Amino acid sequence: MTTEQAFLDRIVQTIVAEDSLHAKKVKKNIEQLTREHGNDFYKFLGLILEFCNKRNLSPEKVAKDYLKMVNDMRVEGIYFKKHKKYSCENQHEAYLKVYSNKDIMDYYMNALLLSQVLWVHHFKMLMFFSGQLAEQFLSNTKTVLDIGPGHGFFSYLVTENLKRINNVDIVDISDGSLEMTRAIIGDGNGMIEYFNRDIFKYDSNNKYDLIILGEVLEHLDEPLLILNKLHDLLNDNGYLWITTPTTAPALDHVYLFNSKQEIVELLQSASFNVAREFGCFAEDVPEEVAHKFDISYLYGAFLTRKDR
């Protein structure tokens, strides 16, 4: 058994002991992902393991943090079913309730990190993005901007797979989030730079070949504003990569997309065209069942400027 496998085994054991119902889903997901994406799965699991070692986080601790988030989402889901909206009304409330609360942020960020390898739709989105990096349309990418990088996995894939990259600029308003991203993916041998900035105050003389906006739109009161900002930062022939979910109740989700169509319409209103897209439901059920029960759909797309 490898170190990564032993780490995962202890995580699963903890989930089984603490939440036997959810453990069934986790085991099923792991079986599927290791079967379909074995090498990539363990590569990302290895990044998580390295981070946990740096922070002296045991597998049991990370698993329990993850289960706290799962329970949070159950509560948020009940609210959503009743009111058809997220409980968090706006960005300011999200800041007060989540981002300024160190106790919540500590477990929440660990939990989201683990979800990258325990949730099929999260991992499949990474694999779609990874697959597109091998395509000719991104091969000349030299400059990259990553906003609100989460754990930095998209930027990691960029630096690992695109040969002409000169620099990756990572921007976030949280020092803690930037430190976590740096601890997970490093500096890409000097290629990656980190900036603690509000993207709306981020003045750059650069125009970027690729801009990454992974699961950010749902955290904003007015996501159109950031899309307009990024339209101006994108090279004429560049690509904007976005991901965002529909009907995904969470502690800090503010903007509700009820359908893929609503997402696409917003992107078009910001003068973007969808060049390539991918989507995956959070549960392995037929599409009509997913729509009936408001199962979250994770949408990802490479966008081009309409004026290119």
Q: Name the token pair of 270.
A: 């910001």
> For the residues 259-273, what does the mean pLDDT come to?
97
DSSP of 79-91: HHHHHSS-S--SH
Q: What is the pTM of this model?
A: 0.95
> For the residues 44-73, what does the mean pLDDT come to?
97
- Report how far residue 33's alpha carbon sits from residue 45's, in angstroms, rounded to the nearest whole number: 12
> For the residues 54-64, what does the mean pLDDT come to?
97
Asked if residue 192 has pLDDT above 90, the reply is yes
Q: Which residue, of 97, 119, 141, is where some domain finishes?
A: 119
Bridge partner list, 300 = 243, 278
| Confidence category of residue 75, pLDDT binned at 50, 70, 90 | very high
Give the pLDDT score at 107.
93
Q: Are residues 17 and 163 in the same domain?
A: no
Question: Taking the mean position of all CA atoms in its chain, how far away is CA 115?
Answer: 10
Q: Which residue, of 67, 93, 119, is where some domain finishes?
A: 119
Q: Are residues 254 and 128 in the same domain?
A: yes
Question: In the predicted model, what is the mean pLDDT of the chain?
Answer: 95
Map tokens 């504003």 to a residue: 225
Q: Are residues 21 and 115 in the same domain?
A: yes
| Confidence category of residue 177, pLDDT binned at 50, 70, 90 | confident
List CB contacts of 24: < 8 A, sequence separation 6 or more.
none
Q: Are residues 103 and 173 in the same domain?
A: no
Give the pLDDT score at 136.
85
Give the pLDDT score at 205.
80
| Confidence category of residue 33, pLDDT binned at 50, 70, 90 | very high
Q: Which residue, of 85, 119, 153, is where some domain finishes?
A: 119
pLDDT tens string 293-305: 999 999 999 999 9
Q: Are residues 82 and 207 in the same domain?
A: no
Give the pLDDT score at 247.
97
Q: Are residues 43 and 126 in the same domain?
A: no
Asked if residue 218 has pLDDT above 90, the reply is yes
Q: Are residues 137 and 115 in the same domain?
A: no
Give the pLDDT score at 135.
87
pLDDT tens string 199-209: 988 877 889 99
pLDDT tens string 103-150: 898 899 999 999 999 999 999 999 999 999 988 899 899 999 999 998
Q: Are residues 133 and 112 in the same domain?
A: no
Residue 65 to residues 18, 62, 88, 153, Cα–Cα distance (Å): 11, 5, 21, 20
Asked if residue 228 has pLDDT above 90, the reply is yes
Domain extent, residue 231, equals 121-305
> For the residues 162-176, what does the mean pLDDT come to?
91
Q: Are residues 37 and 138 in the same domain?
A: no
> For the residues 277-294, what does the mean pLDDT come to?
94
Q: Are residues 50 and 154 in the same domain?
A: no
Query: Total structural domains in the chain?
Result: 2
Q: Are residues 11 and 92 in the same domain?
A: yes
Give the pLDDT score at 176.
81
Looking up residue 277, the CATH number of its domain turns out to be 3.40.50.150
| Confidence category of residue 74, pLDDT binned at 50, 70, 90 | very high
> For the residues 59-77, what does the mean pLDDT come to?
97
Would you tell me the crossing angle of helices 153-161 and 175-185 to the nearest 10 degrees?
Answer: 40
The helix (H) or strand (E) run that includes residue 106 is helix 102-118
Asked if residue 13 has pLDDT above 90, the reply is yes
> For the residues 278-287, what does the mean pLDDT come to?
94
Q: Are residues 11 and 97 in the same domain?
A: yes
Given phi > 0 = left and psi -120 to 50 = alpha, else beta, which region is 167?
beta
Give the pLDDT score at 307.
81
